[in-house]
Amino acid sequence: MHEQPNLLIAWLEQAGLSHTFSVPITYTLIIFAVFFTALLATWFVRRTLVSSLIKIIRNNRLSWDNALTDHFFFTRLSWFVPVLIFYIAQDILLPPDSQWLKFVPRLILCGFILAGIRVISALLKAANSIYRVRHLQTGKTIRGYIDAIRIICYLLGGILMVSTLTGRSPWGLLSVMGGLTALTMLIFRDTILGFIAAIQLTTNDMIRVGDWIEMESHGADGDVIEVSIHSVRVRNWNKTITTIPTYALIANPFKNWRGMTESGGRRIKRALHLDMTSIRFLTDDELDKLEEIRILRQYLRSKREEISKYNRARGAETSGTINGRSQTNIGLFRAYISAWLQEHPKVHKKMTFLIRQLKPGPTGIPLEIY
């Protein structure tokens, strides 16, 4: 089989320099020159074109495109420059009889694949950041889907690179991986479980970034700061970070306090225990003095008028409190607590509001605030 003459040898022969430099030295100098040119071109592109793009993006009015620079999209895109230079100069890098002659084009093609994967990965990260900023109030995230797509890209890229280096069809490698299904499931078990769990969590809206969750089995009690395909990170109230496997949120119970946060209020359930022996009726003089309290004034006047009408209608003797209705100190105390809480600016007026007397116990009569 006739081999095609190397372009470098042909050029040296035309220039009359074939006897000036030996072949090994010539190729060493050429390889060094190509590497130097690739480095210089990459540096020049990054210092001029990439830097200019970054400045334009940082100084414009748009905010979403900042994610491209935050995840080094243009920097990774510049890696195509040295690979392209090596691709153009591949015919002069090696002598025609070199055993590396078939391997170098494959290696350069792998460089294109690797650079492409890194660019796609940066673009996916930027898309996740843009989505997260746009949905910051709702806390929705697509991190699980982005991670799954990145894993698929890396997997396909790895298959293409191996296929390129070995000269075999990628479908053959996929069939081999299909035959090793059990081993693949064992190796990627956590990734597969996390991917399915992330889809369930996102689809059913079970968890969002910013949610307050409580999961006793993993010692988590705080705000969700990150949701990915492999783990969910929770910042606890003591500022420690708890990392929970994503699939654990499907397999184990947890409490999400988002409903309370969205409602605008949080339940308070406390009881004041009163001594039963201190409960008594109030005299008229005590009621007159208690009318000086502003928040009780209207209640006392309406209540005294109501009791007075009740006793007159039934002919009850007012000389003895046992013969008619009278006000007690526990009833007035309950009215005072209710009026004070109704005026409190941080008490939700449209939610359940109860001040009730419960069953007496060993510690007295509970007066519950709900």
Rounded Cα distance, 129 and 64, in Å: 8
Q: What is the CATH number of the domain that holds 218?
A: 2.30.30.60
Domain that holds residue 71: 3-168
Query: Which residues pair with residue 215 across a beta bridge?
Result: 220
Q: Are residues 67 and 87 in the same domain?
A: yes
Q: Are residues 330 and 255 in the same domain?
A: no
Q: Is residue 182 part of a domain?
A: no
Q: Are residues 78 and 15 in the same domain?
A: yes
Tokens of 213: 């969750």
Q: Are residues 15 and 128 in the same domain?
A: yes
Q: Are residues 228 and 244 in the same domain?
A: yes
Q: Is residue 312 part of a domain?
A: yes
pLDDT value, residue 339: 87
User: Who contacts 207 (Cβ-Cβ below 8 Å, separation ≥6)?
Assistant: 201, 213, 224, 227, 232, 249, 256
What Cα–Cα distance (Å) separates residue 298 from each residue in 230, 251, 252? Answer: 61, 56, 53
Q: Are residues 22 and 149 in the same domain?
A: yes
Q: Is residue 191 part of a domain?
A: no
Among 168, 187, 220, residue at a domain's last position: 168
What Cα–Cα distance (Å) separates residue 158 from each residue in 110, 116, 124, 163? Answer: 9, 12, 18, 8
The pTM (predicted TM-score) of the whole model is 0.50
Among 168, 187, 217, residue at a domain's last position: 168
- pLDDT by 10-residue block (mean), the chain, 370 residues: 46 49 60 82 86 83 77 84 83 64 80 87 84 70 76 83 78 64 65 74 77 86 84 88 85 83 81 88 84 85 84 69 78 88 85 86 88
Q: Are residues 85 and 116 in the same domain?
A: yes
Report the number of distinct structural domains present in the chain: 3
Q: Are residues 133 and 39 in the same domain?
A: yes
Q: Are residues 239 and 336 in the same domain?
A: no
Among 222, 237, 263, residue at a domain's last position: 263
pLDDT value, residue 255: 86
Q: Are residues 99 and 159 in the same domain?
A: yes
Q: Is residue 35 part of a domain?
A: yes
Rounded Cα distance, 260 and 268, in Å: 12
Question: Would strands 220-227 and 212-215 be described as parallel, antiparallel, or unpaired?
Answer: antiparallel
Rounded Cα distance, 289 and 329, in Å: 13
Q: Are residues 244 and 290 in the same domain?
A: no
Q: Is residue 195 part of a domain?
A: no
Q: Are residues 42 and 68 in the same domain?
A: yes
Q: Is residue 48 part of a domain?
A: yes
Q: Is residue 102 part of a domain?
A: yes
Radius of gyration for the alpha carbons in the chain, expressed in angstroms and rounded: 39
Q: Is residue 352 part of a domain?
A: yes
